Structure 1
Amino acid sequence: MTDSKQKLNPDTAIDIAYDIFLEMAPENLDPADILLFNLQFEQNGAVELVETADDWDQEIGVLIDPQEYAEVWIGLVNEQDQMDDIFAKFLISHREEEREYHIIWKK
């Protein structure tokens, strides 16, 4: 018997987040951040699947089950290969039939 709640493949989650990011960034980020991202992403950019935090309710006002979502961060890494400039954090549901997502943009 297969699990009806199959999790997103990490590459798929990353692709979904990056596509949404590119589409929505101009409306949600400062022009200076967009310029910084465009100039540095090729060398220092990162799109990473991270462990889903359990405190999203503080950001979106709704309790979520971390097992039902993938969390993806988009940003720039420093010399120590740590993401220290995060432009967006995505919460993407594993449900393919009704894909739901939430975004926390850099302020």
Structure 2
Amino acid sequence: MSVRIEIIDRDITTLDVDAIVNAANEQLLPGGGVCGAIHAAAGPGLAVECRSLGGCPTGQARISGGHGLTARHVIHAVGPVWHGGGMDEGGLLAGCYRHCYRLADDAGLS
């Protein structure tokens, strides 16, 4: 797998890319902040699809369509809440990143 990562400073909801990554909760429900902005820009179809995915455990990710976004997919990544480092937060976060890359690769995203 060849991965190109680009860091940019723009509104994530306007990017014309294969996928954006959303910091999601385990229920994959619309939240606040960036997650809320992504759901608002994508329209109600994103929340409907997310509900059909059945949630996502911490340390993993799920992929959906982009719906009303210019991004063709949204990868919903559920990272851990930091509890001081004694609850394998680092391992869960690393697993979350690996899962995002695997989903992108499996979907043929570039």
TM-score by length of 2: 0.29
- Which protein has the larger Cα radius of gyration, Structure 1 or Structure 2? 1
Q: Which has the higher contact order (CA 8 A, sep 6+)?
A: 2
Which protein is richer in strand relative to its size? 1
TM-score by length of 1: 0.29
